[in-house]
Amino acid sequence: MSHPLSPDDIAALQSAVDWWADAGVEALPPLPEETRPQPQARQAPQRREPQQTSREQRQTASPAAAQAAGYGALPDQYGAAMARAANDIEALKAALGDYNGCPLKATARNLVFARGNPQAKVMLVGEAPGRDEDAEGKPFVGEAGQLLDKMLAAIGLDETSAYITNLVFWRPPGNRKPTDQEVEACTPFTARHIELIKPDALVLVGGLSTQTLLGAKQGITALRGKWTDYKCEDGTSIPTLPIFHPAFLIRRPQEKAKAWADLLSLKGKLGG
């Protein structure tokens, strides 16, 4: 029997499904019971209890619905207090698991915390997870992450000698840029993350983490390759190097020479 849909129909449907997945819609909620076909002989209508919102239903929520559900409604000091109370990396990860101050949590599949060695001398902070990172719950595992791994390998670093995280811990739907509010909701945790790892060298990967964590106005093109100090809340400073984001280097391979110079500078700082 031939398929009722033509190959073109199937391709169009697949592309619509992919588009929704890219936009962060990972599952459709079940139809409310009232809209399902009802049997003819009905019993006396029963009062329905208010429905519990399932995780799948929350995943389809718009930013406005996420806010209405209580995500992102917490004052900034709440996140800062939770982050400060975390005395080690595991406690910080657990605190993020409990934290509902960032609206992105409502649409993400997973918390994307970190990968690599927490004892490493070098810590890299990227921007925000994408689709692959959201699915795996690990930062930099997609195409940009593969390039980042190659860049690190070129100076002898890997997951045993580097620690990799992001500024923002949940995927923005459709891989859009996180809003200021979303970044602000995550920043106390990122700051505490850096303070707890206390690397010998901090690498800020891309413009967003550079501008946010250094409070800089200039763009990454002006700041990359220039060592500066990141000031921790405990008063200590960490030598910090902004570099181009690998996603940018994929789009602009002609800039790779500058990234290579920056990597050599990092290698020199680490004593290699």
Q: Which residues bind ligand URA (CB under 6 A)?
A: 126-130, 133, 139-140, 142, 144-145, 166, 206, 247
The total of other beta-carbon atoms located within 10 Å of residue 226's CB is 12
Q: Smaller CB distance to ligand URA: residue 103 or 142?
A: 142
Q: To the nearest whole angstrom, how small is the minimum distance from the Cβ of residue 249 to ligand URA?
A: 12
Q: To the nearest whole angstrom, how small is the minimum distance from the Cβ of residue 91 to ligand URA?
A: 22
DSSP-based three-state secondary structure for 76 = helix
Q: Smaller CB distance to ligand URA: residue 101 or 139?
A: 139
Helices (H), the chain: 7-22, 55-59, 63-68, 76-85, 89-98, 131-136, 143-154, 180-197, 207-214, 220-223, 246-251, 256-269
Q: To the nearest whole angstrom, how small is the minimum distance from the Cβ of residue 65 to ligand URA?
A: 25
Q: To the nearest whole angstrom, how small is the minimum distance from the Cβ of residue 27 to ligand URA?
A: 22
Q: Smaller CB distance to ligand URA: residue 166 or 190?
A: 166
Q: Please, are residues 214 and 223 in contact by the beta-carbon 8 Å criterion?
A: yes
Q: Greatest CA separation found in the chain?
A: 80
Q: Smaller CB distance to ligand URA: residue 49 or 180?
A: 180
Comparing every residue's Cβ against ligand URA, the nearest one is 126
Q: Smaller CB distance to ligand URA: residue 60 or 146?
A: 146
Q: Smaller CB distance to ligand URA: residue 139 or 199?
A: 139
Q: To the nearest whole angstrom, how small is the minimum distance from the Cβ of residue 95 to ligand URA?
A: 20
Q: To the nearest whole angstrom, how small is the minimum distance from the Cβ of residue 204 to ligand URA?
A: 11
Q: To the nearest whole angstrom, how small is the minimum distance from the Cβ of residue 133 to ligand URA?
A: 4
d(CA 218, CA 68): 35
| Virtual torsion, Cα 104, 106, 109, 111, nearest 10 deg | 60
Instruction: Sort strands 162-166 and 114-116 into parallel, antiparallel or unpaired.
Output: antiparallel
Q: Smaller CB distance to ligand URA: residue 140 or 244?
A: 140
**Burial readout 142-178 (b: 16 or more C-beta within 10 A, e: otherwise):** bebbebbbebbeebebeeebbbbbbbbbbbbbebeeb
d(CA 138, CA 123): 15
Q: Please, are residues 139 and 115 in contact by the beta-carbon 8 Å criterion?
A: yes
